[in-house]
Amino acid sequence: MTRHLTASTGPVGLVVVSHSRALAHAAVALAREMLHGRPVRIEVAAGLDDTTFGTDAGQILHAITQADRGAGVVVLMDLGSAVLSAELALELLDDDATRQRVLLCPAPLVEGLIVAAVAAAGGAGREEVAAEATAALAGKTSHLGVLATGAADGLDADEPGELVGAFLVTNPHGLHARPASRVVQAVRMLDARVALRNSTTGSAWVPASSLSKVATLGALCGHEVEVRVSGTQAREALDHVVALAARAFDEPSEPGAVRDERAATGSEPRRPQAPIAASPGIGIGPAWPMHAAPPDVADAHTDEPAAEWRRLKGAIADVRRTVQRVRARAVSEIGEAEAAIFDAHLLLLEDADLLDDVRSRVDSGQAAAPAWSAALRRVGADLAALPDPYLQARAADVAAVGDQVLRALLGVSDRAHPPGGVLVAGELTPGEAAELDSSRVAAVVQAFGSPTAHSTILLRARGIPAVVAAGPGVLGIVEGTLLAVDGTRGQVITDPTPDVQADFRARAGERALQEHHALARAAAPAVTRDGVEVLVGANVGSVDDATAAATYGADLAGLVRTEFLFLGRAQAPDVDEQEAVYRQIAEALGGRRITLRTLDVGGDKPLGYLPMPTEANPFLGVRGTRLAQVHPELLADQLLAFARIAHDVPVSVMFPMISTLDELLWTRRMLEDAVKLAGRGEPTDLEVGIMVEVPAVALKAKAFAPHVDFFSIGTNDLTQYALAAERGNDAVADVGDPFDPGVLHLIDTVCRSGAPVAVCGELAADERATPLLVGLGVRELSMAPRAVPPIKQAVRQLDSPHAAALCAAALQAPTADAVQGLLAAAQSRPERPSGPDGT
Model confidence at 334, pLDDT cuts 50, 70, 90, reads very low
Name the more confident of 542 and 210. Answer: 542
pTM for the model: 0.53
In the chain, the percentage of residues whose pLDDT exceeds 90 is: 31
| Helical spans, DSSP H, in 9-79 | 21-33, 57-67
Where is average pLDDT lowest: 94-103, 175-184, 455-464? 175-184
The pLDDT tens digits of the residues spanning 746-768 come to 999 999 999 999 999 789 988 88
pLDDT exceeds cutoff 70 at 828: no
Q: What pLDDT is stored for residue 26 in this prediction? A: 85
Q: What pLDDT is stored for residue 408 in this prediction? A: 83
Q: How far is CA 396 from the centre of its chain?
A: 20
Rounded Cα distance between 239 and 249, Å, is 13
Residue numbers of the domain that contains 167: 163-251
- How wide is the angle at C-alpha 477 spanned by C-alphas 473 and 483, nearest 5°? 110
Name the more confident of 743 and 352. Answer: 743
Model confidence at 839, pLDDT cuts 50, 70, 90, reads very low
Name the more confident of 667 and 193. Answer: 667
Same domain, 543 and 633: yes
Please give the mean pLDDT across all residues of the chain. Answer: 80
Closest by alpha carbon to 273, among 763, 839, 815, 838?
Answer: 815
CATH number (domain holding residue 329): 1.10.274.10
Where is average pLDDT lowest: 80-84, 155-159, 744-748, 799-803? 155-159
User: End of a domain among 466, 491, 514?
Assistant: 514
Q: What is the DSSP letter of 182?
A: H
Same domain, 314 and 234: no
Where is average pLDDT lowest: 365-369, 441-445, 790-794, 829-833? 829-833
Bridge partners of residue 559, in order along the sequence = 539
Q: What is the DSSP letter of 446?
A: E
**Within 13 Å of residue 373, how many CA atoms lie on the same side as its CB?**
18
| 249, 255, 261, 267: CA torsion to nearest 10 | 180
CATH number (domain holding residue 489): 3.50.30.10
Same domain, 400 and 427: no
Same domain, 573 and 677: yes
Rounded Cα distance between 636 and 574, Å, is 11
User: End of a domain among 467, 484, 514?
Assistant: 514
Q: What pLDDT is stored for residue 1 in this prediction? A: 36
pLDDT exceeds cutoff 80 at 623: no
Q: What pLDDT is stored for residue 357 in this prediction? A: 87
The answer to whether 75 touches 104, Cβ cutoff 8 Å, is yes
Residue of 19, 454, 751, 807 marked active site: 454
Tell me if 261 is assigned to some domain: no
Q: How many other C-beta atoms are found inside a 10 Å radius of the C-beta of residue 731? A: 23
- The domain total for the chain is 5
- Mean pLDDT on 352-358: 84
CATH number (domain holding residue 109): 3.40.50.510
Q: Are strands 533-540 and 557-561 parallel, antiparallel or unpaired?
A: parallel
Q: What pLDDT is stored for residue 471 in this prediction? A: 80
- Mean pLDDT on 597-624: 70
Name the more confident of 457 and 330. Answer: 457
Catalytic annotation present for 221? no
Q: What is the DSSP letter of 439?
A: T
Rounded Cα distance between 295 and 434, Å, is 24
The pLDDT tens digits of the residues spanning 680-731 come to 888 888 999 999 999 999 999 999 999 999 999 999 889 989 998 776 565 6
Q: What pLDDT is stored for residue 790 in this prediction? A: 92
Same domain, 284 and 298: no
Same domain, 684 and 745: yes
Model confidence at 141, pLDDT cuts 50, 70, 90, reads low
Closest by alpha carbon to 796, among 507, 532, 516, 509?
Answer: 532
pLDDT exceeds cutoff 60 at 355: yes
Same domain, 544 and 677: yes
- Mean pLDDT on 278-305: 82
Tell me if 434 is assigned to some domain: yes
- How wide is the angle at C-alpha 805 spanned by C-alphas 799 and 811, nearest 5°? 130
Same domain, 718 and 602: yes
Same domain, 403 and 532: no
Same domain, 284 and 297: no
Backbone angles phi, psi at 297, to 5 degrees: -125, 110
* Nearby residues of 395 by Cβ (< 8 Å), 6 or more positions away: 379, 380, 381, 383, 384
CATH number (domain holding residue 188): 3.30.1340.10
Residue of 105, 221, 751, 760 marked active site: 760
Tell me if 195 is assigned to some domain: yes
Catalytic annotation present for 760? yes
At 173 the three-state DSSP class reads coil
Tell me if 264 is assigned to some domain: no
At 480 the three-state DSSP class reads coil
Q: What pLDDT is stored for residue 2 in this prediction? A: 36
The answer to whether 657 touches 693, Cβ cutoff 8 Å, is yes
Q: What pLDDT is stored for residue 270 in this prediction? A: 37
* Nearby residues of 416 by Cβ (< 8 Å), 6 or more positions away: none
Please report the beta strands in 231-351, taking only residues with DSSP state E, as ranges in sequence order.
276-279, 282-289
Tell me if 243 is assigned to some domain: yes
Q: What pLDDT is stored for residue 318 in this prediction? A: 82
Model confidence at 239, pLDDT cuts 50, 70, 90, reads confident
Tell me if 263 is assigned to some domain: no
Q: What pLDDT is stored for residue 254 in this prediction? A: 39
Same domain, 120 and 219: no
Q: What pLDDT is stored for residue 3 in this prediction? A: 37
Q: What pLDDT is stored for residue 384 in this prediction? A: 67
- How wide is the angle at C-alpha 811 spanned by C-alphas 809 and 815, nearest 5°? 100
Q: What pLDDT is stored for residue 836 in this prediction? A: 42
Rounded Cα distance between 120 and 13, Å, is 8
In the chain, the percentage of residues whose pLDDT exceeds 70 is: 79
The answer to whether 460 touches 765, Cβ cutoff 8 Å, is yes
- How wide is the angle at C-alpha 639 spanned by C-alphas 635 and 642, nearest 5°? 145
At 61 the three-state DSSP class reads helix
Q: What pLDDT is stored for residue 23 in this prediction? A: 86
Q: What pLDDT is stored for residue 327 in this prediction? A: 67
Where is average pLDDT lowest: 90-94, 360-364, 530-534? 90-94
Phi-psi region of 405 (alpha: psi -120 to 50; beta: other; left: phi over 0): alpha
CA distances from residue 702 to 686, 755, 783, 804 in whole angstroms, order as listed: 22, 8, 26, 21
Rounded Cα distance between 405 and 400, Å, is 9
- Mean pLDDT on 773-787: 93
User: End of a domain among 375, 410, 445?
Assistant: 410
Name the more confident of 455 and 224. Answer: 224
Q: How many helices (DSSP H) and strands (DSSP E) are in the chain?
A: 33, 24
pLDDT exceeds cutoff 50 at 643: yes
Tell me if 158 is assigned to some domain: no
Query: b vs e for 524-542, b when ≥16 Cβ sit within 10 Å of the residue's Cβ?
Result: eebebbeebebbbbbbbbb
Same domain, 282 and 305: no
Tell me if 137 is assigned to some domain: yes
- Mean pLDDT on 631-657: 94
CA distances from residue 685 to 594, 595, 652, 691, 816 in whole angstroms, order as listed: 11, 12, 8, 20, 39
Rounded Cα distance between 613 and 375, Å, is 40
Q: What pLDDT is stored for residue 259 in this prediction? A: 32
- Mean pLDDT on 462-470: 86
